[in-house]
Amino acid sequence: MISVRDVHVTFGRGTPLENRALRGLDLSVADGEFITVIGSNGAGKSTLLNVLSGDARAERGTVEVDGIDVTRWPTPKRASLIARVFQDPMAGTCERLTIEENMALAQARGRARGLGAALDKPRRALFRDKLAMLGLGLENRLGDSMGLLSGGQRQAVSLLMSTLAGTKTLLLDEHTAALDPRTAAFVLDLTRRIVDEQKLTALMVTHSMRDALDHGSRTVMLHEGKVVFDIAGERRKAMDVPDLLRLFKQVRGEELSDDSLLLS
C-alpha cells in the first residue's frame, strides 16, 4: 500500500533554475494494485518515483508505504519495503559483479549483511531456478559478469532481483524505454507475470500511452507536478489513446504538446 499526501518537491530552490517538480501531489495505491503513470516531460513522473524510493525528499507532505510513514527515511532504509527497476539497464545492476553476486545483493535487501558467505549452494540453486523461469538460458551463466548481458537480459534479471527479498511494493521507472520493441514487449510481459504471481503493489512509469492502457488496473496522468486524471475499471477498459488525449484537453483546457508522448 502506498499513500502520498500533498507532497511538494522543488529542485534548486531560490535559483534561476528553480523547478517545482511536484506541487501538492496526492495518490493512494491499494494493496495488489498495478498503476501505470503517464505524463509529458517534466510532469513529475520520475520525481514521484524518487520521492517514493527516497532518492528525493518531500519538503512538504507525507509518504507512507504499508502504513509506515517513510517521509524522512533515507533510500537504503526504504529498501526493506520497496524494490525498484531503473530505466537505464546499467543503473539497476553492477556490471563488474557476476549475475549470482547481483542476485545475492538483491536477496539480502532490507536485512543486515554480516560476515557469512554471500553465496552458497542453496542460494545458487534458488537463483538458477529463478533464472530458468526467464527462458533466456541465463541459469547456466551464474558466474558471468553482468556486463556481458544485453540490455533486455539485464532488465529481466533486474525484475527478478526485485522479487528476491519478498518486498511487496515495486517501482518501475520507464524500465522498457531503453529496449528495442520486441525486447520491451518481452520485459513488459515478464513484469505482468511477476506482479500477478507475487501479488505486488506496482507503480509503472511509462512514456507510452499505449502501454499505460494495456497494463495494470489503473492509469494516472501527471501534469505540472499534480495528478490531472485517474481512471480505472470499466471506464479505463473502454479507452484508447485518442480518448486519453481528449480527456487531457477536457481537464486542462489545453492541447497536450509533447511529441514523444503522442508518437509512442
Partner 1 sequence: MSLIATLGAIEIGLVFALVALGVYITFRVLDFPDLTVDGTLPLGAAVAAAMIAGGVNPVFATLAAIVAGCLAGSVTAWLNIRFAILHLLAGILTMTALFSINLRVMGVPNIPLMNRPTVIDFFAWLNPLIAMTGLPGRPTLRVLALLIIVLVIGALLARFLKTEFGLAMRATGANPRMARAQGIRTDMHVYVGVALSNGLVALAGALFAQTAGFADVSIGTGTIIAGLAAVILGETIFRTKSIVVAIFSCLIGAIAYRLAIALALNAGWLGLRASDLNLVTAVLVGIALMLPGVANPLRSLFKRSAP
**What is the CB neighbour count within 10 angstroms for residue 220?**
24
Cell 492502457: give the residue.
213
Q: Does 181 bind partner 1 (CB under 8 A)?
A: no
Among 3, 19, 145, 264, binds partner 1 (CB under 8 A): 145
DSSP letter for 251, please. Answer: H
Q: Does 166 bind partner 1 (CB under 8 A)?
A: no
Dmax over Cα atoms in the chain, in whole Å? 61
Cell 526493506: give the residue.
80
Cell 515478464: give the residue.
190
Give the DSSP H or E segment for 62.
Answer: strand 60-65
Among 30, 118, 126, 251, binds partner 1 (CB under 8 A): 118
DSSP three-state, residue 260: helix
Q: Does 16 bind partner 1 (CB under 8 A)?
A: no
CB nearer to partner 1: give 40 or 167: 167
DSSP three-state, residue 162: helix
CB nearer to partner 1: give 34 or 86: 86
CB nearer to partner 1: give 3 or 80: 80
Residue 7 CA to residue 27 CA, distance in Å, equals 9
Rounded to a whole number of angstroms, the minimum distance from the CB of residue 191 to partner 1 is 17
**230 DSSP β-pair partners:** 220
Cell 516531460: give the residue.
41
Q: Does 95 bind partner 1 (CB under 8 A)?
A: yes
Q: Is the dihedral of CA 116, 120, 123, 124 positive or negative?
A: positive
Residue 136 CA to residue 93 CA, distance in Å, equals 17
Among 14, 16, 17, 117, binds partner 1 (CB under 8 A): 117
Rounded to a whole number of angstroms, the minimum distance from the CB of residue 248 to partner 1 is 32
Rounded to a whole number of angstroms, the minimum distance from the CB of residue 74 to partner 1 is 8
Rounded to a whole number of angstroms, the minimum distance from the CB of residue 92 to partner 1 is 6
Q: Does 57 bind partner 1 (CB under 8 A)?
A: no
CB nearer to partner 1: give 98 or 153: 98
CB nearer to partner 1: give 98 or 201: 98
Residues found near partner 1 in the complex (CB under 8 A): 53-55, 74-77, 79-80, 83-84, 86, 90-98, 101, 104-106, 108-111, 113-119, 145
